[in-house]
Amino acid sequence: MNIKEKLLDTFQSIRLSNFFNKYYITAFAFVVWLSFFDRYNLMTQYKLSQNVKLLENKKQDYENLLEEALVERKIIKSDIEKYGREKYLFHKPDEEIILIK
């Protein structure tokens, strides 16, 4: 071996030993552990975030239904007879109902 090859081998061994020191190995092992083996790994976090989005959408739907129910309640309190006649087709015994659509 000539001097050039010896220097190249030394340089490569120094570069690899710097890359594979205990800190890099420990950091890599920590990232792998958190990504795949931990209780709250990446897949679990993804599923939880999807579940949160679904629940937020449901919450918004229920809030909209609540607003509609409150408006309907206000209408019922103002004139219950009119509401019953229009919504549920209630009528008095001597009346006939004619629906026009």
Helix (H, G, I), strand (E, B) or coil at 48: helix
Where in the chain are the domains? 1-38, 43-101
Q: Which amino acid is residue 80, in one-letter code?
A: I
Rounded Cα distance, 35 and 29, in Å: 10
Q: Sign of dihedral through CA atoms 92, 95, 96, 97?
A: negative
Q: How confident is the model at residue 101 (pLDDT cuts 50, 70, 90)?
A: confident
Contact 93, 87 (CB under 8 A): no
pTM: 0.56
Q: What's the pLDDT tens digit per position in 40-97? A: 888 899 999 999 999 999 999 999 999 999 999 999 999 888 888 888 888 888 888 7
